Amino acid sequence: MTRSRAFLVLFLLAMLAAIGALVHAARPDAGPDHWEKAAVPPGATLAQLLPHADPKAGEQLFKRCAACHSIRENGPNLNGPNLYGVMGSQVGRNSARFAYTAALQAVSARWDAARMDAWLKGPRALVPGTSMVFPGVPSPTERADLIAYLLTQGGH
C-alpha cells in the first residue's frame, strides 16, 4: 500500500467515526431505547422500572390506545372511556357518561400503578368480562412508560 493510499484509508475511517459520533449525539433522550441507558436488572419489578419510565415514550405507545381512548381533558368517549385523570380515579368510573361493564364497575379500587400495570398486561385476565378488547402490552418497560404518560395526563 502506498503512503497516500494508507492516508486515504485512515481518513475514511476517521470520517466514519465522526459520522457515528454525530448520529449518536443526535439521538433524542426520550424514546423506546431510553431503557438501554437505564441500569435496570432483567426481571426488574415495577417499582424499579417506574423511576426510569419516560412519559414521552409512553405518549408514543399511547397510539395503540388512541383508536378507542381520547385522553385530553373533557375529551370524548370513543369505543372506550376518556382517560384524562384516570390514574388515581375509581376503577370503572373515570368518565361519567361512559357505559362501563358491570364487571369493571364491580372492582372497587383505585387505579394505582400496580393495578394499571396488571390491567395493561392483560385486561381480561385482571377483569374477566371487561369489554376492553385489547390483548395487552407484554413488555414491562413499555407498560411503565405508559403509566408514566398516564400520570402526566391529569393523573395522580
Interface with ligand HEC by CB under 6 A: which residues?
Answer: 64-65, 67-69, 79-81, 83, 86, 91-95, 100-101, 103-104, 120, 130-134, 137, 146
- Give the C-alpha separation, 110 to 87, whole Å: 8
- Give the C-alpha separation, 53 to 6, whole Å: 47
Residue 23's Cβ-count burial label (10 Å; 0-12, 13-18, 19+) is exposed
Cell of 92: 370503572
Nearer to ligand HEC, 15 or 133 (CB): 133
State in angstroms the smallest separation of the CB of 43 from ligand HEC. Answer: 22
Nearer to ligand HEC, 34 or 69 (CB): 69
State in angstroms the smallest separation of the CB of 85 from ligand HEC. Answer: 9
Contact 77, 65 (CB under 8 A): no
Nearer to ligand HEC, 35 or 134 (CB): 134
